[in-house]
């Protein structure tokens, strides 16, 4: 039974973004994210600095989310927070804050798996965005994960393929680093790729059995390719940046699409939903949309602000858990690794 007056405050602090959102049932009233720019100068997330920044940001971010939503703390029905997976020091900040606030406000506490949230972000009520029907396949692609998940229900999911080494976001970021681009390099590769020829250079695709992925070989291949070409022409990167980015992105998209096609063949499921930071990639979005006509798939691409790490996606899982009374006691703990 749907309770029509559910207000969820959601808190996400698994990595380097401090985020808070307020949902009224399945509608997002506010979605605030504080990015931690401090990591850019180190070429990757520094866990110690991330947890400190979360401590600084968490109160203003939650305050901003409540004010933007025009919701008083006393109106909240429950607090949902990211339990894991993620960086332990970062998770602890959101978990401890959520516990304290739930005790202070005497409202239930809901623990959310970050990866479930990337998948269930598709169930946020948004004009112009359809929701998938169960069962569907979810491709979750982020800086920490690359998974194909068979989603049979809100709380019934099965990983049918995943990376055996680097995540696809890491493949983008590490390739970008080889090219001398700042962190996070994924969005920059996307930007330059749009101006280049995807067939200019060829990188061998890894041979991984079944639905699993591997990206570490690609990174090494790109490193050797750049080193070799720079020996012949020290300006090789500068002179070919767009083509190199387009070729790298093309190879990564091919790897993802090959496995998706196999997953569809093996499961017979043709509804495909993507989630995770890398699903912001314009090339992936275009290829998926094309697959509707080409293979008869129905694809679901979330609104941009719900693809990268955000708290609205934590809130929608919180709402579903609220409806089915899946609450935690204050003994709940953060989990850097978490059972799917």
For the annotated binding site for substrate, the residues are 140-144, 173, 186, 190, 281
CB 311 within 8 A of CB 31: yes
Query: Which residue in the shown chain puts its C-beta closest to ligand KG4?
Result: 277
Q: Is 280 in the site for ligand KG4 (CB under 6 A)?
A: yes
Q: Is 309 in the site for Zn ion (CB under 5 A)?
A: yes
DSSP 135-183: SEEEEEE-SS-EEEEEEEETTEEEEEEEBSSS-HHHHHHHHHHHTTPPS
CB 222 within 8 A of CB 251: no
CB of 132 to Zn ion, least distance (A): 19
Q: Which does 89 bind (CB under 5 to 8 A by kind): ligand KG4, Zn ion, none?
A: none
CB of 13 to ligand KG4, least distance (A): 12
For residue 269, which of 301, 240, 299 has the smallest C-alpha distance?
299
Q: Which stretch binds Zn ion (CB under 5 A): 63-71, 78-86, 141-149, 233-241?
A: 141-149
For residue 257, which of 303, 315, 312, 297 has the smallest C-alpha distance?
297
Query: Looking at the DSSP assignment, which residues form a beta bridge with residue 32?
Result: 20
The site that binds Zn ion (CB under 5 A) totals a number of residues, namely 2
Q: Which stretch binds Zn ion (CB under 5 A): 64-72, 90-98, 134-142, 295-303?
A: 134-142
Q: Is 169 in the site for ligand KG4 (CB under 6 A)?
A: yes
Residue 32 in tokens: 């605030």
CB of 185 to ligand KG4, least distance (A): 6
Q: Which of 308, 316, 321, 328 binds ligand KG4 (CB under 6 A)?
A: 308
Q: Which of residues 124-153 bind ligand KG4 (CB under 6 A)?
A: 142-144
Distance (Å, rounded) from C-alpha 200 to C-alpha 172? 18
Q: Which does 278 bind (CB under 5 to 8 A by kind): ligand KG4, Zn ion, none?
A: ligand KG4
User: Considering beta carbons, is residue 102 or 142 the nearer one to ligand KG4?
Assistant: 142
Q: Is 173 in the site for ligand KG4 (CB under 6 A)?
A: yes
Q: Which of 163, 281, 320, 334 binds ligand KG4 (CB under 6 A)?
A: 281
Q: Which of 157, 278, 288, 317 binds ligand KG4 (CB under 6 A)?
A: 278
Q: Which residues are annotated as a binding site?
A: 114, 118, 140-144, 173, 186, 190, 281, 309
CB 61 within 8 A of CB 20: yes
Q: Which of 43, 44, 187, 206 binds ligand KG4 (CB under 6 A)?
A: 187
**CA of 59: how far to CAs of 66, 102, 110, 209, 285, in Å?**
11, 15, 19, 46, 35
DSSP 70-101: T--GGG--EEEEEEESS-HHHHHHHHHHHHHH
- Beta pairing, strands 78-84 & 109-113: parallel
Q: Which does 308 bind (CB under 5 to 8 A by kind): ligand KG4, Zn ion, none?
A: ligand KG4
Q: Which residues are annotated as a binding site for Fe cation?
A: 114, 118, 309
Q: Which does 85 bind (CB under 5 to 8 A by kind): ligand KG4, Zn ion, none?
A: none
Length of the chain: 340
Helix (H) or strand (E) holding 56: helix 47-69
CB of 333 to ligand KG4, least distance (A): 20
User: Considering beta carbons, is residue 17 or 243 the nearer one to Zn ion?
Assistant: 17
Helix (H) or strand (E) holding 23: strand 17-24
Distance (Å, rounded) from C-alpha 266 to C-alpha 214? 20
**CA of 261: how far to CAs of 161, 211, 266, 295, in Å?**
12, 10, 9, 9
Q: Is 142 in the site for Zn ion (CB under 5 A)?
A: yes
Question: Which spans of this chain sit near ligand KG4 (rule: CB under 6 A)?
Answer: 15, 142-144, 169, 172-173, 184-187, 190, 276-278, 280-281, 308-309
Question: Which spans of this chain sit near Zn ion (rule: CB under 5 A)?
Answer: 142, 309
């Amino acid at each position: 039974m749907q309770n029509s007056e559910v207000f969820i405050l959601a808190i996400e602090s698994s990595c380097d973004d401090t985020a808070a959102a307020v949902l009224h049932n399945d509608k997002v009233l506010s979605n605030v994210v504080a990015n931690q720019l401090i990591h850019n100068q180190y070429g990757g997330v520094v866990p110690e600095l991330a947890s400190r920044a979360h401590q600084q940001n968490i109160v203003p971010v939650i305050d901003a989310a409540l004010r933007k939503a025009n919701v008083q703390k006393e109106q909240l029905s429950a607090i949902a927070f990211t339990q894991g997976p993620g960086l332990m020091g970062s998770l602890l900040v959101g978990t401890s804050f959520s516990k304290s606030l739930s005790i202070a406000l005497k409202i239930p506490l809901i623990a959310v798996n970050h990866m479930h949230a990337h998948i269930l972000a598709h169930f946020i009520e948004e004009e112009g965005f359809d929701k998938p029907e169960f069962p569907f396949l979810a491709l979750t692609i982020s800086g920490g994960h690359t998974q194909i998940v068979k989603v049979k229900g809100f709380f019934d999911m099965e990983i049918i393929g995943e990376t055996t080494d680097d995540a696809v976001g890491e493949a983008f970021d590490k390739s970008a680093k080889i090219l001398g681009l700042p962190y996070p390099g994924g969005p920059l590769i996307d930007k330059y790729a749009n101006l280049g020829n995807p067939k200019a250079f060829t990188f061998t695709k890894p041979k991984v059995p079944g639905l699993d992925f591997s990206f570490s070989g690609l990174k090494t291949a790109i490193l050797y390719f750049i080193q070799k070409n720079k020996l012949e022409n020290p300006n090789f990167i500068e002179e070919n940046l767009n083509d190199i980015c387009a070729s790298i992105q093309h190879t990564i998209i091919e790897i993802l699409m090959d496995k998706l096609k196999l997953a569809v063949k093996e499961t017979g499921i043709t509804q495909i939903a993507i989630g995770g930071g890398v699903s912001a990639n314009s090339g992936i979005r275009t290829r998926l949309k094309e697959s509707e006509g080409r293979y008869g798939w129905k694809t679901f691409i979330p609104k941009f602000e719900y693809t990268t790490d955000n708290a609205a996606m934590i809130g929608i899982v919180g709402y579903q858990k609220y409806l089915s009374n899946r609450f935690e006691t204050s003994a709940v703990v953060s989990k850097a690794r978490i059972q799917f």
